Amino acid sequence: MLLTPFADSQPLLDQPEALRARMERDGYLFVSGLLPEEAVEALYAAIMAICREQGWADADNLALGEPRLEGYPEWWAVYDSLQRLEAFHAFAHRPEILRLVEAITQEPVLVHPRNIARITFPGAAHYTTPPHQDYPLIQGTPQTYTAWIPLCDCPESLGGLAVLAGSHTMGLLPVHRASGPGGLSVETERFGLTWHGQDMRAGDLLLFHSHTVHRALPNVSERRLRVSADYRYQGVSQPVVEDSLMPHYGRMSWDEIYEGWQQEELKYYWKRLPVRITARNFEIMQPVETR
């Protein structure tokens, strides 16, 4: 796929106005090297330890066996353990990310506790995340921002994330049923916009608006797993839907997830904030084929 390299906002980190202007123009901010590599590596190592335990990867972290697909029965052996990882949830609160998001929201940030990790096997191109906007899935306020973080070096061949620059200005697009995580896609050809994307490194971060169309690239590597996190943020005064405050996939309660955690302040932190709950609109999640 032909990609234009991201505009790197690293030089703008101390210029909140310029960051806001760029987010307004492009619908995304890419910041190279925002996160300390050691912290990213430690989280990657913890996730890969679970993958090895469950026979998804060998001692060199190379994929073993048939591709496991998100949401399928064989997925949970790893994903449930990953959701219990304190380090995975703690990472969403890193000061480097909060500072960046706060420059955009201009108010204290609500970190959605529904944190998501992706482990993408090679040989499963048909199940690559299709082009979509996050808003129908996340809702609450359109001013919700997704931080997509590769937890290992992620060359294009490993299937990073690409964004359709400027697509946040097109408003909310009708959704179609599609294969891959999220299960919904949008059509964008008629807008004549450009896909931005490139090789990414562990420590880079891509932040985008909930109306920005984005897609994963297929993992066409020999045997490498593409491991990433996606976390979501909004201004604390903005409305949020209740399920954004629940564990991803809702297979366990927070109490089950919190077992053995060290940091009390990470537990139920949103209950100490003045969050404003709003209802989910199921209509905008309906694929046009079934409307």
Ligand X SMILES: O=C(O)CCC(=O)C(=O)O
146 binds ligand X (CB under 6 A): yes
The 3-state DSSP class for residue 200 equals strand
Sign of the Cα pseudo-torsion (166, 170, 172, 178, in order): negative
159-178: contacts with ligand X (CB under 6 A): 161
Least gap, CB of 272 to ligand X (angstroms): 26
Compute the distance between CA of residue 59 and CA of residue 62 in angstroms, rounded to an integer: 7
Residue closer to ligand X by CB (options 129, 267) is: 129
Q: Kindly give the pairing relationship between strand 226-235 and strand 109-111.
A: antiparallel
Residue closer to ligand X by CB (options 129, 234) is: 129
- Binding marks (x or -) toward ligand X, 200..229, rule CB under 6 A? --------------x-x-----------x-
Token digits of residue 8: 């790197």
Q: Pick from 88, 148, 195, 233: which binds ligand X (CB under 6 A)?
A: 148
Least gap, CB of 153 to ligand X (angstroms): 15
181 binds ligand X (CB under 6 A): yes
61 binds ligand X (CB under 6 A): no
56 binds ligand X (CB under 6 A): no
Q: How many CA atoms lie within 13 A of 287 on its CB side?
A: 11
Which H helix or E strand runs over 233?
strand 226-235
Segments in the chain forming alpha helices (H): 16-26, 37-53, 76-83, 86-91, 95-105, 135-138, 254-257
Residue closer to ligand X by CB (options 83, 268) is: 83
Q: Pick from 83, 105, 129, 244: which binds ligand X (CB under 6 A)?
A: 129
| Contact call for residues 110 and 60 (beta carbons, < 8 A) | no
Q: Pick from 118, 196, 209, 211: which binds ligand X (CB under 6 A)?
A: 118
Residue closer to ligand X by CB (options 168, 214) is: 214
94 binds ligand X (CB under 6 A): no
Residue closer to ligand X by CB (options 28, 237) is: 28
| Contact call for residues 244 and 232 (beta carbons, < 8 A) | yes
230 binds ligand X (CB under 6 A): yes
Q: Pick from 27, 34, 134, 188: which binds ligand X (CB under 6 A)?
A: 134
Token digits of residue 221: 């590597």
Least gap, CB of 59 to ligand X (angstroms): 26
Least gap, CB of 178 to ligand X (angstroms): 12
Residue closer to ligand X by CB (options 16, 155) is: 155
Token digits of residue 181: 């995580």
Compute the distance between CA of residue 18 and CA of residue 33 in angstroms, rounded to an integer: 19
Least gap, CB of 14 to ligand X (angstroms): 26
Least gap, CB of 91 to ligand X (angstroms): 14
Burial 85-120 (b: 16+ CB within 10 A, else e): bbebbbbbebeebbebbbbbbeeebbbbbbbbbbbb
Q: Where do contacts with ligand X occur on this chain (CB under 6 A)? A: 118, 129, 134, 146, 148, 161, 181, 214, 216, 228, 230
